């Protein structure tokens, strides 16, 4: 029988069985003894490829550039990789970079990395609400750390910047500035960060007694042109927004361009708040109000967690959610009467 069938006979998850067979400390002694006894009775031996991966070290980890952004030159990935490399150098590991052409083909990249036994663990971000990558890695007991949480499981290591706070605090700031028609342009909803932003945004509206209007919520890819396209759609509404919370600074820059195209002034006629503190944000006009995102520090912490995980530390001890800070500049002006 394979490990899935063996786990089913015990009524345990594949991950728990795998950990027990490999003497991991994050399984109780009673469970480990039960699994080992059953393995002996059934003459069960785990998959040799997976076993070799766990017992042999390649001193290599993979940093996977995840969709929807595949450009290595993007500051998100560059900053994170600097942090990852710093920690891995100190730990004696080398880092390889992998990517996929699309969301649909990304799991194949993970499978190839693992099947060829090229890596000891993985690091990746842009987690999804229902993430087959996380499910696959847990099933095959492959060490990994993500930048972001997921509804798929809560039993894996992660670093996350709380995007619920971005949605809630961004919307709440506009409310305190007198706005009532507040839009949200967020990244695709299948991403966990977008789900958190959306929920935080709705909570701020509810707390202020403002009705949620789904026409004011638009999805956009993490690109300036997509942000501009989404903002044009919002500004063409019969009752357009006077303020826009954006899920990424690139989206916000596109939104400001679309606002200017209509003859309005960003930050004066229509307020804009971004997220992730892109380096260009302080140089655009008006300077972009945004939320902090220390991705270099996050990358370093993710790599440190992976090293700890490879040393046997439990997943539950390796989960951190960081609070973003609002960076106030000039793009989030107060509501103007008559607008």
pLDDT tens per residue, range 140-173? 889 999 999 999 999 999 999 999 999 999 999 9
Whole-number pLDDT of residue 312: 85
Token pair belonging to 41: 């009775």
Radius of gyration for the chain, computed over Cα atoms and rounded to the nearest angstrom: 23
User: Residue 48: pLDDT above 70?
Assistant: no
pLDDT of residue 327: 98
Evaluate if residue 55 carries a pLDDT over 50. Answer: no
Question: Of 63-77, 80-94, 157-171, 271-285, which range is least confident?
Answer: 63-77
User: Which residues, 6 or more positions from 241, have their beta carbon under 8 angstroms from its beta carbon?
Assistant: 179, 181, 182, 183, 216, 234, 235, 270
Give dist(CA 254, CA 34) in Å, integer.
58
Average pLDDT over residues 221-246: 97
Answer yes or no: is pLDDT of 203 > 90.
yes
Alpha helices, H only, the chain:
3-10, 14-21, 29-41, 48-55, 75-91, 106-115, 132-139, 163-176, 192-207, 224-235, 249-261, 295-310
Question: Tokens standing for 101?
Answer: 């052409």
Fill in the DSSP letter of residue 102: S
pLDDT of residue 5: 81
Query: Of 88-102, 203-217, 263-277, which gets the smallest average pLDDT?
Result: 88-102
Say which residue, 25 or 157, is predicted with more confidence: 157
> Is residue 192 within 8 Å of residue 158, measured between CB atoms?
no
Say which residue, 322 or 27, is predicted with more confidence.
322
- Residue 54: per-residue pLDDT: 47
For the entire predicted model, the pTM comes to 0.83
Name the nearest CA neighbour of 15 among 148, 156, 128, 159.
Answer: 156
> In angstroms, rounded to a whole number, what is the distance separating the alpha carbons of residues 209 and 203?
10
Check residue 290 and report its DSSP letter: E
pLDDT band at 44 (very low <50, low <70, confident <90, very high): confident
Q: Which domains does the chain have, with CATH numbers?
A: 3-46 (1.10.260.40), 53-161+295-322 (3.40.50.2300), 163-293 (3.40.50.2300)
pLDDT 10s digits, 217-226: 999 999 999 9
Answer for the pair 16, 27: CB distance below 8 angstroms, yes or no. yes
Question: How high does pLDDT run on average in the chain?
Answer: 90
Residue-level pLDDT at 2? 73
How far is it, in rounded angstroms, from Cα 146 to Cα 124? 5
Distance CA 159, CA 142 (A): 18
């Amino acid at each position: 029988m394979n490990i899935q069938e063996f786990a089913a006979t015990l009524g345990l998850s594949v991950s728990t069985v795998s950990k027990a067979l490999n003497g991991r400390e994050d399984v109780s002694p009673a469970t480990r003894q039960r699994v080992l006894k059953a393995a002996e009775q059934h003459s069960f031996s785990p998959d040799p490829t997976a076993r070799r991966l766990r017992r042999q070290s390649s001193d290599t980890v993979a940093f996977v550039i995840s969709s929807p952004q595949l450009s290595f030159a993007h500051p998100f990935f560059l900053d994170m990789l600097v942090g990852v490399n710093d920690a891995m150098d100190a730990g004696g590991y080398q880092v390889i970079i992998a990517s996929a052409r699309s969301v649909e083909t990304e799991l194949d990249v993970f499978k190839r990395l693992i099947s060829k036994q090229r890596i000891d663990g993985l690091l990746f971000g842009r987690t999804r609400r229902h993430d087959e990558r996380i499910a696959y890695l847990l099933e095959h007991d492959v060490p990994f750390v993500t930048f972001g949480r997921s509804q798929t499981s809560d039993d894996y290591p992660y670093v996350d910047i709380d995007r619920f706070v971005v949605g809630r605090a961004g919307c709440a700031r506009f409310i305190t500035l007198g706005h009532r028609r507040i839009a949200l342009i967020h990244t695709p909803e299948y991403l966990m960060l977008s789900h958190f932003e959306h929920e935080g945004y709705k909570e701020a509206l509810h707390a202020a007694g403002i009705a949620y209007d789904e026409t004011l919520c638009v999805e956009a890819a993490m690109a300036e042109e997509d942000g501009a396209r989404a903002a044009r759609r919002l500004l063409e509404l019969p009752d357009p927004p006077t303020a826009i919370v954006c899920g990424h600074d690139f989206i916000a820059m596109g939104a400001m361009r679309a606002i200017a195209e209509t003859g309005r002034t960003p930050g004066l006629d229509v307020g804009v708040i971004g997220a992730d503190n892109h380096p260009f944000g302080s140089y655009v006009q008006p300077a972009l109000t945004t939320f902090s995102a220390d991705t270099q520090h996050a990358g370093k912490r993710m790599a440190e967690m992976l090293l700890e995980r490879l040393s046997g530390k439990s997943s539950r001890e390796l989960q951190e959610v960081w609070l973003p800070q609002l960076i106030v500049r000039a793009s989030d002006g107060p509501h103007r009467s008559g607008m």
